[in-house]
Structure 1
Amino acid sequence: MCQAGRMSASPKLPFHLTRDEFLAWCPDDGQRWQLLDGEPVAMAPARFGHAALQSEASRLLSNHLAARGSPCVVLTAPGVVPHFRAGVNFRVPHLGVTCTPVPPDAVFLPAPVLLVEILSPGNERDSWANVWAYTTIPSVREILVLHTREVRAELLRRQPDGNWPANSLQVTQGELVLDSLGFAGPVGALYRTAGISGTG
């Protein structure tokens, strides 16, 4: 996702851009774009299972935060800026949560604490590259990766020393716990409307 309304549809795709150039270039063509190491990359429309999983996760997390009276907010497809190579990156997770006030005209999410990536056939390499980039954002405490071929969540949680674990925590049944939000609930609830069998 980039700042809409700056150019007309069907622009000539530039070869390499800085983040500021990317935000100025962004076409108003209804397509969502990311900047990956200086290269603008269009994001494909989500398939039903992916979109349902994204919607359900957003609803569950938002309801949880509202019930707690939390100031944190869940945003769909927010722009985030990795700490590493910040000048040539503008990544777009499927969901992001911040507990910092967000100005209405903000272009990217300030101080995200949780970022969510949804793996679909064909996007796994880019999604895992995004996960690596998210680990460089100092405010991020957890990264949740949701699979669309099966009920499976992978959770990476920043350790007390600031490092990330070598391996993700695999959750295929039972309870998913997100320390960053004080959330706990059945992992299967995320998949309620996604049409994927085997919910836990």
Structure 2
Amino acid sequence: MTALTMPKRMEMAAFLEWAASQDAGRYELVDGEVVAMSPERSRHVDMKMHAWETLRNAVRDAGLACFVKGDGMSVVIDEHNSRQPDASIQCSAIDPEAMVLDEPVLVVEVVSPSSGRSDTGTKVAEYSRIPASVTI
């Protein structure tokens, strides 16, 4: 097995191109640096799936023309930061080949002991910088 060489600082377009070329793994761009996402424990995965299912059912029951996504879709904060929330909602069209949600109206982060400080501090601040452009 060969070790993955993480690229040095990059901007969003280069990061998305690099991430798409990887065989495995999930990555975020934090202050221009590629950060590999940690493996998850079963409890964390169960909570993410529960959040996704609850959101999906709520969107369906409300008759909203929105898309509920699980993890894996990036949300661009700015030219040097993107995150992959555990679940999200977007109410505008999504290209089936897209890797990015460009107008998320809700993002969910399941807080875990190893990432709690970032999930409840840094990420909340970053997500709050995304312009609100969609009204449900």
Report whether the alignment pairs 1:14 with 2:10.
Answer: no
* Alpha-carbon spacing, 1:138–1:113, altered in 2? closer, same or farther (3 Å): same
Seen in structure 2, the aligned counterparts of structure 1 residues 140 and 44 have a Cα distance that, compared at 3 Å, is: farther
Determine which of 112, 119, 122 is the counterpart of 1:129.
122
- The answer for the alignment partner of 1:61 in structure 2 is 55
Q: 8 Å contact 1:93–1:130 — kept in the other structure?
A: no
% identical equivalent positions: 33
The residue correspondences of 1:33-112 to structure 2 (distance < 5 A) are 33-77=27-71, 78-82=73-77, 86-112=78-104
Unaligned runs of 5+ in 2: none
Residue 114 of structure 2: SS of its match in structure 1? coil
Aligned residues: 132
1:75-103 residue CA offsets vs partner (Å, 9 max, x unmatched): 01221011xxx111121111111111111
Residues 140, 34 of structure 1: alpha-carbon distance in 2 compared, 3 angstrom cutoff: farther
Residues 24, 10 of structure 1: alpha-carbon distance in 2 compared, 3 angstrom cutoff: farther
Length-normalised TM-score, structure 2: 0.87
Equivalent position SS for 1:81: strand
Residue-by-residue CA offset, 1:6-49 (whole Å, 9 max, x unaligned) = xxx74421221111111122252321000001010011122111
TM-score, normalization by structure 1? 0.61
Letter in 2 for 1:96: S
Distance 2:122 2:133 in 1: 16
Match of 1:25 among 14, 18, 26: 18
Which structure has the bigger radius of gyration? 1
Note the residue ranges of structure 1 that are not aligned, 5 or more in a row: 1-8, 142-179, 182-200
TM-align CA RMSD: 2.0
Which structure's residues are more often helix, by fraction? 2
Shift of the alpha carbon at 1:140? 7.7
Q: After TM superposition, give the deviation of residue 129 of structure 1 in Å.
A: 1.3
SS of 1:105's equivalent in the other structure is: coil
User: Which shows bigger deviation, 70-79 or 19-28?
Assistant: 19-28
What letter matches 2:53 in structure 1? R
**Rounded Cα–Cα distance in structure 2 between residues aligned with 1:31 and 1:126:** 20
